[in-house]
Structures are given as structure tokens and as C-alpha cells.
């Protein structure tokens, strides 16, 4: 393993040579400890962390088999660039966020009521193509954005547009195609001309082939890169992402009012207490700080790009593997933001539940099964007859001890219905519970 390396990097997009902001004492040790913990857990072989303050990249350090200039796939951090591309066109009067997508993509007439804004903030109801593609291993062959959109065009919407939230990579594929239709350029060429080249992002590319050889994926294979388009196809470095963040926060790549519009949250798109979706960004509110950014995850890579625009601050994490980016992000934020504490909202987050009725029903089923009684009326009939016998289920659950409660973890839309994941807390052990409800509200999946 290569020793950690420190780059004395200072990037500035303004005129002159302002004084480099001092790096707070303890930043290096805190970030190194966090990154070292991820490497020690064998979740990654290479991690790079960068910190922006006062319009400059003041800290860039590599851990493991990397240098501060290493190129990585950034996954869904790509969506920030897609959103900026769209908002640039809005700022120039080329399109409107309220335009129906059928204006630009006539082949998606079934989704004609969906607007550009709803694609940006994941409230379109358009099904997410990538989950199914990965589950069926389709990503080992080549595809195109047009084929991706065609694969979902005949499917029904997960919900009426603008009434709910579900993370949809498909929506960003559609946004990329809208940029191409409006400009007459490929999305990669548009981003090159309007973002990468003007900002001097010389080591950043979008599309299936990276300009510079990227760090190899670790413990994962993303498959053919054609499956990751406007939703996840950018390769970049800490230095280039710092240039982008600085320009974005200073209004140099997008006028300030339009960057502020990107941070407008959707009331019903609350993922957990204090965390909401916006337009190409996720926003953390509270703790006397407003954080706007995006996480990225592909098989073999993880990334994070979090900005605090009011303080002209950003922290960027790139690497390979399935490591957790949060320890490095939190280490930097704790050092720079007085009073910041990721643990502060933990109790409130544990109380968050977007579907309390489903949780109540699932908990009642599990409690009944633990004492030898399945309420089979809650299940779809064909599923009901396949359930284990009451006595069998009771014996399987007995070693766990008394059932205590369910804690909501996540929710996602599937072709067959809605998928929920819980922590099922028993007296002796906590396990994961996976349930699926069909569109009529009957349980069609219930597994631990």
C-alpha cells in the first residue's frame, strides 16, 4: 500500500493571488484517521480527500494506492453536472423547468405530463431503469440512452407526477437527451464546451471512455460504461471537482439565482430528518449549516461532493471500493463548521417514517408470527398459501427473543409495487426485514 501523500494545492479562479486560507489544526489528523479506518476495513484500496475554503483548494490528500491527481468514476455526482447543464439552458431562455418533457422527447408520450423540474427533483414517477438492469446483469452488454428510455416507455408511472418522490436514474437519462435535443450537441460535447473547458477541468471527461486512465474499481465491476450516461458517466479528480465547486458557488458557471433554484427542496421529498432532495442536489438543513451536494456510488467506486455555499466551503471524497464516504466528510465539516455534529439529529432520524401505516401492519404481522399466528389476510392470496406454517415460523423466530419494534430504513418503487426495508428489533438480535406491497396494498414479499 502506498503511503499517504499530501499535495500543496491552491486553486483560485479569481484575479490576483489572495492569501491561502489557513487549514484548521486537526483537519489532517481527523481526515487521515477516517480514511485509514476505511482502508483498514478492506472496503477500499484508494481514497482521495479535498477541502475547498475561501475560493481555493486548501487540502488534497491521497490515501492508499492513489495520488491527489488520481482519476475516479464519480457516479451520481455526475447528476450535479447534468442539472447545471439544464439550468444553464434555462438561464439562457432555451427551455423552461415547467416544460413537459414530451416537448423534447416525443417518444415518451406516456410520460407527457412530466415536467423538466420533476425530472430534476425525482418527483416524475418514471421508473428507475438501473435497478432492474443490474438485477438482470444486463449491464455487461452495451446500450444507448435511447434504448434505456425505450425500456421504460411502456411501463406505468410509479405515482402521479409531482405527488411523491422516488430516486430515478431514468429521469437524468431523459434530461441528458433533452440537453442534446435543445443544443444539437452530444451531452459530453456540451459539458466539455460549457463546463469543463471554461473552468480548466483538463482531467475530467463524460462518456464511456475516461481521458486519463482511472483508478481500477475495487471489489466491484460496474459493467459496460454505456449504462451510465447523464446519471453517472463522469470521471474526474479532486482538483477538477474543486474548480467546479468554486465556480458554482461563486456564480461563474451558473448565475447565482439559478444555483439557488437548484437548492430549492421538495417538501414531500424528505429522505430523513433534515435531508431533502432538490434539483440535482441533496440538501441538509439545520445544525446552523446548509449543505448542498450529492453522493455517488457505482460497483467498485464511491464519491461525495458536499458544498456549504454560505461559507464558500466544500469537501470532496473520491475512491474505489464500497467504502463509506461519510467519515471523511464529517471529519472535514466538524473541523470547519463550529457546532456541526452529525450525531445531533440521530434520535430524530430514528423516529422518521414516511409510511407509518405500512410499518404498523408489518410490525403486527411479525409480532403475530413470533407467537404462532400469521395474519394471512394481509397477503396476496397466492403468496398467502406459500407462507410457512404458523408453528414453523414461530420456531424460526424463537432464538431472536421477544419482538420489540420495527425501525424504518428505506423505501423504493418496483414494477411490482413498493419495497420497504426495516430493522426488526428483537430482544436478542436485530435483523433486516424486507417487505413488498403490491399496488392494491397487499403484502407480496416478506423476508428476513
pLDDT tens-digit readout, 220-273? 888 889 999 999 999 999 999 999 999 999 999 999 999 999 998 887 655 555
How much is the pTM?
0.80
CA pair distance 145, 127, nearest whole angstrom: 15
- Quote the domain boundaries for residue 254: 72-347
Contact 329, 282 (CB under 8 A): no
Please identify, among 313, 332, 347, the residue that sits at the C-terminal boundary of a domain. Answer: 347
Which of 136-145, 166-175, 411-420 shows the highest mean pLDDT?
166-175
Say yes or no: 105 and 251 in one domain. Answer: yes
Please identify, among 327, 347, 367, the residue that sits at the C-terminal boundary of a domain. Answer: 347
Which of 84-93, 131-140, 302-311, 423-432 shows the highest mean pLDDT?
84-93
Which of 138-147, 183-192, 423-432 shows the highest mean pLDDT?
183-192
Q: In the prediction, which pLDDT does 56 show?
A: 95
pLDDT in tens, 15-62: 444 555 678 889 999 999 999 999 998 889 999 999 999 999 999 999
Please give the share of the chain, as a percent, with pLDDT higher than 70. Answer: 88
Does residue 210 lie within any of the structural domains?
yes
Candidates 259, 283, 258; CA nearest to 269 is 283
Does residue 102 lie within any of the structural domains?
yes
* Residue 300 pLDDT level (bands cut at 50, 70, 90): confident
Range scoring the smallest mean pLDDT among 197-206, 259-268, 409-418:
409-418
Which of 130-144, 157-171, 304-318, 422-436 shows the highest mean pLDDT?
304-318
Does residue 250 lie within any of the structural domains?
yes
Which of 41-45, 67-71, 353-357, 396-400 shows the highest mean pLDDT?
67-71
Does residue 381 lie within any of the structural domains?
yes
Pairing status of strand 270-272 against strand 56-64: unpaired
Say yes or no: 285 and 426 in one domain. Answer: no
Domain with 194 in it: what CATH number? 3.40.710.10
Q: In the prediction, which pLDDT does 5 show?
A: 44
Quote the number of domains for the chain. Answer: 2
Please identify, among 324, 347, 370, the residue that sits at the C-terminal boundary of a domain. Answer: 347
Say yes or no: 89 and 212 in one domain. Answer: yes
Q: Can you tell me the mean pLDDT for 275-302?
A: 81
Say yes or no: 154 and 183 in one domain. Answer: yes
Does residue 23 lie within any of the structural domains?
no
Q: In the prediction, which pLDDT does 253 show?
A: 97
Domain with 443 in it: what CATH number? 3.10.450.590
CA pair distance 270, 251, nearest whole angstrom: 27
pLDDT in tens, 41-54: 888 999 999 999 99
Task: List, by residue number, the catalytic residues.
Answer: 76
Does residue 45 lie within any of the structural domains?
no
Does residue 230 lie within any of the structural domains?
yes
User: Residue 378 CB: number of other CB atoms within 10 A?
Assistant: 18
Q: In the prediction, which pLDDT does 268 show?
A: 61
Q: Which residue has the cell 427533483?
A: 121
Amino acid at each position: 500500500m502506498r503511503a499517504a501523500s499530501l499535495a500543496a494545492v491552491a486553486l483560485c479562479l479569481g484575479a490576483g493571488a489572495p492569501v491561502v486560507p489557513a487549514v484548521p489544526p486537526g483537519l489532517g489528523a481527523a481526515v487521515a484517521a477516517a480514511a485509514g479506518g476505511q482502508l483498514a476495513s478492506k472496503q477500499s484500496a484508494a481514497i482521495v480527500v479535498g477541502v475547498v475554503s475561501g475560493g481555493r483548494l486548501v487540502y488534497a490528500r491521497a490515501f492508499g494506492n492513489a495520488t491527489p491527481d488520481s482519476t475516479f468514476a464519480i457516479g451520481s455526482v455526475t447528476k450535479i453536472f447534468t442539472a447545471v447543464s439544464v439550468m444553464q439552458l434555462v438561464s439562457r431562455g432555451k427551455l423552461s423547468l415547467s416544460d413537459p418533457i414530451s416537448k423534447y422527447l416525443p417518444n415518451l408520450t406516456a410520460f407527457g405530463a412530466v415536467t423538466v423540474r420533476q425530472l430534476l427533483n425525482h418527483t416524475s414517477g418514471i421508473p428507475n431503469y438501473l435497478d432492474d438492469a443490474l438485477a438482470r446483469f444486463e449491464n455487461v452488454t452495451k446500450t444507448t440512452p435511447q434504448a434505456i428510455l425505450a425500456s421504460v416507455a411502456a411501463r406505468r408511472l410509479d405515482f402521479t407526477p409531482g405527488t411523491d418522490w422516488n430516486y430515478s436514474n431514468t429521469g437524468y437519462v431523459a434530461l441528458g437527451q433533452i440537453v442534446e435535443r435543445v443544443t444539437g450537441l452530444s451531452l459530453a460535447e456540451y459539458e466539455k464546451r460549457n463546463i469543463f473547458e471554461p473552468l480548466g477541468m483538463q482531467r475530467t471527461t463524460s462518456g464511456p471512455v475516461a481521458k486519463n486512465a482511472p483508478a481500477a474499481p475495487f471489489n466491484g465491476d460496474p459493467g459496460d460504461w454505456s449504462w451510465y450516461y447523464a446519471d453517472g458517466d463522469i470521471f474526474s479528480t479532486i482538483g477538477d471537482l474543486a474548480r467546479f465547486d468554486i465556480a458554482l458557488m461563486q456564480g461563474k458557471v451558473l448565475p447565482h439565482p439559478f444555483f439557488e433554484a437548484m437548492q430549492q427542496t421538495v417538501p414531500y421529498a424528505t429522505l430523513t430528518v433534515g435531508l431533502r432532495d432538490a434539483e440535482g442536489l441533496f440538501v441538509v438543513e439545520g445544525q446552523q449549516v446548509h449543505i448542498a451536494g450529492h453522493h455517488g456510488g457505482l460497483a467498485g467506486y464511491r464519491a461525495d461532493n458536499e458544498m456549504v455555499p454560505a461559507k464558500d466551503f466544500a469537501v470532496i471524497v473520491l475512491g474505489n471500493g464500497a467504502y463509506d464516504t461519510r467519515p471523511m466528510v464529517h471529519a472535514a465539516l466538524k473541523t470547519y463548521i463550529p457546532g456541526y455534529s452529525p450525531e445531533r439529529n440521530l434520535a430524530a432520524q430514528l423516529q422518521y417514517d414516511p409510511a407509518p401505516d405500512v410499518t404498523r401492519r408489518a410490525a403486527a404481522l411479525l409480532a403475530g408470527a413470533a407467537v404462532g399466528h400469521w395474519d394471512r389476510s394481509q397477503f396476496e392470496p397466492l403468496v398467502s398459501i406459500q407462507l410457512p406454517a404458523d408453528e414453523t415460523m414461530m420456531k424460526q423466530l424463537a432464538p431472536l427473543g421477544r419482538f420489540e419494534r420495527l425501525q424504518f430504513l428505506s423505501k423504493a418503487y418496483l414494477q411490482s409495487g413498493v419495497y420497504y426495508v426495516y430493522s426488526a428489533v428483537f430482544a436478542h438480535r436485530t435483523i433486516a426485514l424486507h417487505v413488498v406491497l403490491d399496488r392494491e396494498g397487499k403484502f407480496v414479499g416478506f423476508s428476513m
